[in-house]
Amino acid sequence: MASAAIAGCSSAPEETEVQAKTTGAETKKSEETTSAGENEEKDTTKNNMLAAQTGDIAKMGDGKGQKVVLITIDSMDQHWVNMDKGCKLAAEELGCEYKWIAPDVKDDAKQIECVNNAVADGATALLVAANGPDAITAALQEADEAGVKIVQVDSFANYPCVQKLGTDNRAAGKMAGEMVLKELEAKGIKEGKIGIVSVNAATTSTVDRDEGFRSAFEGTAYEILETQYADGDAAKSKDAAANFISQGCVALFGANEGSCVGVGNAVAEDGNNIIAAGMDKSDAVIQLIKDGALICTMAQNPDIMGYEGMYAAITAINGGTVAPEYIDTGVSALTVDKVQ
């Protein structure tokens, strides 16, 4: 198979803003790196960033001669850009070759081609955020059988791997739901329709957020309508949100970055009359919070997923023990008072 990227599967664009390296005793405070339900800052010095690891941990320079590829669901969202930054930082420390590739849109077939191309191009480890839990498993099995180490980040496939790193998405969705419920009650709204805009019915992370959000309203008089899927595209998500608003919804939830932006834009056009919350942190999302179109967003830590995932991959390549099997990389709520 040719190692050149095929149509729809390409190297993600390079960032012009490079994340500062954490070295020696230098300390970097991540803005929001708590486990679900907490709102404390976490110290992320180089060693503390790997504090969740209980097995062996690769050391600086251990990645020489290795090639690690990050394959995300797409290359559209700022979420993935931040994951790439974490990977780059770890790759510099470990001394390994690193590349980020992704489909141009959310598509199982294109993501499978990315996996196949990475293996054909000599990757010794893959960090993968799966578009769906099952479609990619055959490609991952072929990579595994070829000796490639697999680490799963953010959105998981139903296939064994070295380690999984991601958000407790049900808890994140429930947190968003609880904040919406609190705001509704504060405004004296005790019942009404609520809409959810999400990516698709297959991606594990967003499905879990949907379920978590719904759980916050169990036992109440609110009616959660059937989820509308818009492929994580902001424009499509805006249309879906506008449709919910036309149905008289009192609140909305956007289950990923693109969905969140679309929901916020629709609410803004309606005069900020709807209570809305979202998922993921980006410049556009933060501006919508400042403008009053969103009451909050659930901020993940994709940089930590990428950073720790790289260390797990190199540890496994070198025969070390990688533990635990799953790391919750945390989530926290960003509200207007935190983004001013």
What gap in Å lies between CA 239 and CA 245, rounded to an integer? Answer: 10
Nearest to 4 by CA among 99, 85, 129: 99
Q: Return the pLDDT at 51.
A: 78
DSSP alpha helix (H) spans, 187-321: 204-215, 234-246, 257-269, 283-290, 302-317
Tokens coding 66: 């290795």
User: Over the chain (340 residues), what is each successive 10-residue block's mean pLDDT?
Assistant: 46 44 30 35 49 92 98 95 97 98 96 98 98 97 98 98 98 98 98 98 96 98 98 97 98 98 98 98 98 98 97 98 96 95
**Token reading at 145:** 């059988």
E-only strand ranges, the chain? 9-11, 29-30, 42-43, 67-71, 97-103, 125-128, 149-153, 163-166, 191-198, 221-224, 228-229, 251-254, 275-279, 296-299, 326-328, 332-335
Does this model's pTM top 0.85? yes
State the pLDDT at residue 49: 76
Spatial separation of the C-alpha atoms in residues 115 and 319, rounded to whole Å? 23
Nearest-angstrom CA–CA distance, 132 and 209: 15
pLDDT value, residue 52: 85
Using left for φ > 0, alpha for ψ between -120 and 50, and beta otherwise, residue 69 falls in beta
Q: What confidence score (pLDDT) does residue 32 get? A: 35
**Confidence at residue 65, expressed as pLDDT on a 0 to 100 scale:** 98
Predicted pLDDT of residue 13: 54
Pairing of strands 332-335, 296-299: antiparallel
Estimate to the nearest angstrom the gap between the alpha carbon of 166 and the chain centroid: 7
Structure confidence at residue 129 (pLDDT):
98
